[in-house]
Amino acid sequence: MADMTETFSDQILGFTLPCRNARGRAVRLEGVLDEVLSAHDYPAPITHLLSEALVLGALMGGLLKGEHAQMTMQAQTNGGIVSLLVCDYRAGAVRGYCDFDAERLTRLGANPALLALFGDGYLAITFETKGRQRYQGIVPLEGNSLAEACEVYFSQSEQIPTLIRVASRAGAKGRAAAGLLVQHLPDGEEGRERLHVRLDHPDWEHVAIMASSISHDELLDPGLSLEAIAWRLFHEEEEVRVQAGAELSRGCRCSAEHYATIIARFPPEEQAAMRNEDGFVVVDCAFCSKLFELAL
């Protein structure tokens, strides 16, 4: 790897293994994670769940190119304790929100399983490219984590072998979450066999074994750069190319002007029904927990 400024937190690192037809993304969230989670007083299980979702959002969003490209991940269920989990990524800006039944959550204990939180739920992942093309994949919320559901999405919807690892921490050392995503790329995009039709390809088997050896402690270690992680995993390869990706920030895009534009699309009678006794339309942003009083 070439000499460069090392990447530690709140920035995506991209890397490729040219001889193995593989690419990856790594990220560690610290300050940005605190900013997003501080908007609501989430209990520990929801903090853990949303932390994982934000890491996944950064990893998958970091695959996109273009200023206006966006990734949105939404986990939803009917009758589940978590009724809605949503996060998105655009040009380094991440945001997330979770809606849940607090009373039912208290009966589950400290570390509830994904099935206990969502029940019969689904995960919808939507990519909007720089050309404003939009495509979506929907998979069941099965397995032990959101990361496993995302692996299923890439396997079923994009037919790309993918391995994802996510870790999070909350305690005396502070709050942090980190993740690693590695994929086997198609051998050719036009008119050639795709590698995904050979999930037992020896190159992918090798890369997956190496990537899966990463530990939670390594992902979360604030003194271990993301470049060092990539090097630890793949230093035996002929070449490891790394490239610093987008710097991350809390990305709530709410503003009084934004909501006024949306409300203006409604018929006058519906706008009138939205007003309170003082004549204002009050909008509560779920992402950042701000209230906007609009005089329309």
Tell me: the pLDDT tens digits for 166-205? 999 987 677 999 999 999 986 543 333 444 445 567 889 9
Residues 129-141 pLDDT 10s: 877 788 899 999 9
For the residues 202-216, what does the mean pLDDT come to? 94
The structure tokens listed for 24 are 């990856």
Specify the CATH number of the domain 11-250: 3.55.30.10
Whether the per-residue pLDDT at 206 is higher than 80: the answer is: yes
- Is the pLDDT at 164 greater than 50, yes or no? yes
CA distance 139 to 144: 14
In degrees, rounded to 5, the angle at the alpha carbon of residue 186 between the alpha carbons of residues 184 and 191 is 170
Nearest of 201, 159, 227 to residue 15 by alpha carbon: 227
Average pLDDT taken over every residue of the chain = 88
Task: Give the pLDDT score at 194.
Answer: 45
What angle (nearest 5°) sits at the alpha carbon of residue 56, between those of residues 230 and 69? 100
- The encoded tokens of residue 155 equal 């396997």
pLDDT beyond 80 at 49: yes
Whole-prediction pTM: 0.88
Nearest to 121 by CA among 37, 49, 44: 49
Closest CA to 189 of 153, 155, 160: 160
What pLDDT score was predicted for residue 118? 94
Return the pLDDT at 124.
96
Counting DSSP H helices and E strands in the chain, the numbers are 10, 13
The domain limits of the chain are 11-250, 256-294
Per DSSP, helices labelled H in 62-145 are 102-105, 114-118
